[in-house]
Amino acid sequence: MSMQASQATTPPVRNPHLESWVAEMAKLTRPDRIHWCDGSEEERERFTREAVEQGILIPLDQEKRPGCYLHRSNPNDVARVEHLTFICTRTKEEAGPNNNWMEPKEAYGKLGKLFDGCMKGRTMYVIPYAMGPVGSPMAKIGVELTDSVYVVLNMRIMTRMGTDALRMLGDSNDFNRGLHSTLDLDPEKRFICHFPEDNTIWSTGSGYGGNVLLGKKCLALRIGSYLGRTEGWLAEHMLILGVEDPQGKTTYVAAAFPSACGKTNFAMLIPPAQFAGWKIWTVGDDISWMRVGPDGRLWAINPEAGYFGVAPGTSSKSNPNAMRCVERNTLFTNVAMTPDGDVWWEGMDGEVPAELIDWQGRPWKRGSTEKAAHPNSRFTAPMSNNPVLSPRANDPQGVPISAIIFGGRRSTTVPLVLESFNWTHGVYLGATMGSETTAAAIGQVGVVRRDPMAMLPFCGYDMGRYFQHWLDMQHKIPNPPKIFQVNWFRQDKNGKFVWPGFGDNMRVLKWIVDRAEGRADAKETALGWVPADGQIDTKGLDATPEQVAAAMAIDHDEWKREFELQQELYDKHAATMPRALVLQRELLMSRL
């Protein structure tokens, strides 16, 4: 270690637990240099320069997109790899049938061999980061050790990174220990291992965001959900937004949707013209940590500080605010580049350019059958770029949640909106959520899979026990939020969406908020409460009354099939499925 130590920058704040762990990991990985990140602007500029020199980042036109760069990942490394993601708990039962499991000793041994000497000739970057606003009692500290400068620059956008995080940690030993190496990007050596009992994450062989920005999916969701159960709070795959009404009152909502189902769009929604005086404020677009506050309500923070959003489909129609977010200081991954150094992706505004450089750096011509941007190409943008960033986004106390929404991507069956009869029924709606798969993870796209609470890839322990934790939370929340289910994705027989979506989702959101505030009417159906006639404002909506009716329809035959399809979930989790959820399903089936 003495040679490495002499080449290490010194930590800006001293912490013996942290320093001895860094020394131990350096002994294993043997980097040439150790750099302690302070998160400063000067550091960002230096690393950006170095990344450009090494071809890791390609500068875009700095007049059109100041501070923006493009990164092209290895074509074999473009999405999360659920089949290579492991929960390493002492027993397999603890990880549950929803996770791949590896015995901790075996995982440490296997990845330890891969890490052995892997940073020779490289720099080890020490990234201290906070998940949550600086000074928040709900925040958690992590430290990621990585040999990727791309990870450093992304983590600086996505988290509160550097000296602030070290100050929050002080001399405590309570921090997440993350170790990452890209190795040689060999898919055979790609593993994302979580050790919830040790608050540790080891990740090898990948450079893709969700696999390597360890604060996001690994800490904030997989380890976070585990900590949430043991500590009595909730870590969820949910956006958080505030709905301000014309009187200036803001109601906060948290909403779970699977990956690449429009969470970022919903979190930044612009209401249609006739909703004068209504405004949406973004608190977060992907993750929500929620605890019971002294007032008995559920309070939420967004642990992140930036957006790692899906680029394709983002346009001034689908999400004008996201287009503003990516105008400056943004890192793009696997999008296409125009000849004049700007970015492009499928679904962007305007004419398709005649020529582009595609996401793999190859020339591309209009009319090509191949996509110019990868379907899971991304932007990493600081949340401070967001024109509708909530003034409460950095509030250490978070915001009080009045409604929780669960939404899948379903071309049939699930109506536009349903309100649950009660908390247990709401947990059932979330638990049985189905969704058609997207490009955010490797695998077949477009097949319905059960994605409970949009947490299937992210729940760090047994899903049945996670459902029980949700049920138990009711007794801890004297003033619980109301729970809703939505579906923006229903199609007609010709495969056309019946609901226009995007900004028009405000029409549904307004009803949800009005219900939460006790000022809208509903009618009862066998499945839950739905808007009473005329309660969804359709003035100016670009859809026929028949289409709206089709979006809201409840077809009992489709639901009988849906209840049958849910059997798979109940079978898979038979060992720990809470009895209350078995009864909920039986009750609903009997009502049909």
Among 94, 147, 236, 286, binds ligand OXD (CB under 6 A): 286
CB-based contacts of 433, cutoff 8 Å, min separation 6: 256, 406, 407, 408, 450, 451, 452, 453, 454, 485
Structure token pair of residue 356? 């582009």
Closer to Mn ion by Cβ: residue 286 or 562: 286
Region 376-435 residues binding ligand OXD, contact defined as CB under 6 A: none
**In 3D, which of 442, 30, 516 has the Cα closest to residue 253?**
516
What's the one-letter identity of residue 266? F
Closer to Mn ion by Cβ: residue 259 or 424: 259
By rule CB under 6 A, what string of x and - marks binding of each residue 463-492 to ligand OXD? ------------------------------
d(CA 223, CA 131): 12
Among 182, 259, 329, 485, binds ligand OXD (CB under 6 A): 259
d(CA 74, CA 189): 14
Closer to ligand OXD by Cβ: residue 21 or 191: 191
**Torsion sign across C-alpha atoms 156, 157, 158, 164:** positive
Active-site position among 37, 261, 325, 459: 261
Q: Is 286 in the site for Mn ion (CB under 5 A)?
A: yes
User: Candidates 173-181, 190-198, 259-267, 427-435 — which segment interacts with Mn ion by CB under 5 A?
Assistant: 259-267
482 binds, among ligand OXD, Mn ion, none (CB under 5 to 8 A by kind): none
242: β partners: 252, 281
Q: Is 440 in the site for ligand OXD (CB under 6 A)?
A: yes
180 binds, among Mn ion, ligand OXD, none (CB under 5 to 8 A by kind): none
Nearest distance from residue 259's CB to ligand OXD, in Å? Answer: 3
H helices within 61-160, ranges in order? 92-95, 104-115, 149-158
Nearest distance from residue 256's CB to ligand OXD, in Å? Answer: 11
User: Candidates 5-13, 152-160, 286-294, 503-511 — which segment interacts with Mn ion by CB under 5 A?
Assistant: 286-294
Going from the C-alpha of 197 to that of each of 90, 94, 104, 200, the distances in angstroms are 8, 10, 9, 8
175 touches 52 (CB < 8 A):
no
d(CA 347, CA 366): 14
By rule CB under 6 A, what string of x and - marks binding of each residue 291-310 to ligand OXD? -----------------x--
Among 39, 210, 242, 503, binds ligand OXD (CB under 6 A): 210
d(CA 440, CA 264): 14
- Site of tokens 């350096």: 26
Nearest distance from residue 216's CB to Mn ion, in Å? Answer: 8
d(CA 239, CA 197): 27
- Site of tokens 């007609």: 492
d(CA 448, CA 458): 18
Going from the C-alpha of 295 to that of each of 232, 298, 401, 477, 539, the distances in angstroms are 16, 9, 12, 9, 38
Nearest distance from residue 213's CB to ligand OXD, in Å? Answer: 9
Closer to ligand OXD by Cβ: residue 304 or 346: 304
Nearest distance from residue 94's CB to ligand OXD, in Å? Answer: 24
103 touches 117 (CB < 8 A):
no
**DSSP symbols for 513-567:** HHHHTT-S-EEE-SSSEEEPTT-S--TT-SS-HHHHHHHH---HHHHHHHHHHTH
Nearest distance from residue 308's CB to Mn ion, in Å? Answer: 8
Q: Is 80 in the site for ligand OXD (CB under 6 A)?
A: yes
404 binds, among Mn ion, ligand OXD, none (CB under 5 to 8 A by kind): none
215 touches 151 (CB < 8 A):
no
Nearest distance from residue 310's CB to Mn ion, in Å? Answer: 9
User: Candidates 51-59, 154-162, 278-286, 524-532 — which segment interacts with Mn ion by CB under 5 A?
Assistant: 278-286
| Residue 88 annotated in active site | no
Q: Is 451 in the site for Mn ion (CB under 5 A)?
A: no
Q: Which residues bind ligand OXD (CB under 6 A)?
A: 80, 210, 259, 286, 308, 440
Catalytic residues: 261
Q: Which residues bind Mn ion (CB under 5 A)?
A: 259, 286
